[in-house]
Amino acid sequence: MKEAIVSALEKAHVSIHRHAGIVGLSNTYESTFRSFFLEHLCIDNPDVRCQAEWNRVDLLVRFPECNVLIEFKYFLHRRYMNLDGSDGNRMGGAGSQNQKEFDRCVEQLYNDRSSPVHDKYIILAYEQKAPSSRAMGYSKFYDQIDSSEMVKVVDRVSLSDGDSLKSVLISIA
């Protein structure tokens, strides 16, 4: 079951990278990444049943032998585009607000008592590079995630395509 999730995550990462090559990384969104994940999971596992936006959780995955809850977090550095096509002001970015959102997500899954749920995951995708030497990057917050009371395992999905997006599978206790 975890292998199926990792495989779908790896394929979704490749799909979003291909898609970003056409539309630009800053024009990709969490919902697009989740759709690619869902597509690959269902193609490779025809017995799986899924429901997006299940009971305030991004995705319920019903494998024949178990139920899995998955939350998605997708963090990018974005800029507004000026009407002349030049880069405008930054939109959001890495900081304490994103960290709090992520921490709330961990806590929400950790405290979820839906039964029977066998596993809970967060799929985190984030842009690795900071947009400038003065700006904070997401790597500062998310490269160091480790096991804790609420986090069982952190699997850094290693992909060798050299792009700036990093994907992480986090198992919640």
> What DSSP assignment string belongs to 114-127?
-TT--EEEEEEEEE
Query: Is residue 142 within 8 Å of residue 90, measured between CB atoms?
Result: no
Domain count, the chain: 1
pLDDT per position as a tens digit, 6-37: 999 999 999 998 999 999 888 999 999 999 99
For residue 19, give its domain range: 2-172
Q: Show the tokens assigned to 151.
A: 């986090």
pLDDT per position as a tens digit, 68-109: 999 999 988 777 777 888 877 777 677 778 888 888 999 999
**Which of 170, 165, 160 has the alpha carbon at shortest distance from 68?**
170
pTM value > 0.85 = yes
